[in-house]
């Protein structure tokens, strides 16, 4: 399973970098989105999923009653991914607004504002 997740992250990063290097604005936006998805998946997979683990509050109560430490779900990766999702959504909205403004001003969707000469 680890190899599958690592391969998926690698494919998403490679595809994102490939799309970032395109000359049009829409593939650049898709490339940034894929890179943010890959980063989110990486951070979330580093958090190590805990099966049947209680939340932090119930784990503390169990330790107080029995004295043994219960494995609890780590909330930090989930909080980091949630924050990264919100930031990437704002970044994507900003990039799309820049692309629309560029299209309206320059009348082309080429990244540097000029159509390549043939």
Full-model pTM: 0.77
What is the arithmetic mean of pLDDT over 18-33? 93
What is the arithmetic mean of pLDDT over 13-32? 94
Q: How confident is the model at residue 20 (pLDDT cuts 50, 70, 90)?
A: very high
Question: Is the confidence at residue 114, as pLDDT, over 80?
Answer: no
What is the arithmetic mean of pLDDT over 18-31? 93
For residue 1, give the DSSP letter.
Answer: -
Residues in the chain: 118
pLDDT tens figures, 45-93: 887 776 766 666 665 666 666 666 666 677 888 889 999 999 999 999 9
> Which residues are within 8 A (CB) of 62 and not within 5 positions of it... i.e. 6 or more apart?
54, 68, 70
What is the arithmetic mean of pLDDT over 2-27? 94
């Amino acid at each position: 399973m680890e190899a599958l997740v690592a391969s998926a992250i690698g494919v998403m990063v490679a595809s994102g970098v490939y799309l970032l290097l395109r000359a049009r604005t829409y593939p650049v936006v898709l490339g940034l989105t894929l890179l943010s998805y890959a980063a989110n998946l990486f951070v979330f997979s580093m958090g190590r999923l805990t099966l049947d683990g209680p939340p932090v509050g119930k784990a503390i109560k169990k330790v107080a009653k029995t004295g043994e430490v219960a494995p609890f779900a780590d909330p930090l990766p989930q909080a980091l991914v949630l924050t990264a999702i919100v930031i990437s959504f704002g970044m994507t909205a900003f990039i799309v607004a820049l692309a629309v403004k560029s299209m309206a001003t320059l009348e082309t969707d080429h990244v540097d504002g000029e159509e390549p000469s043939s």
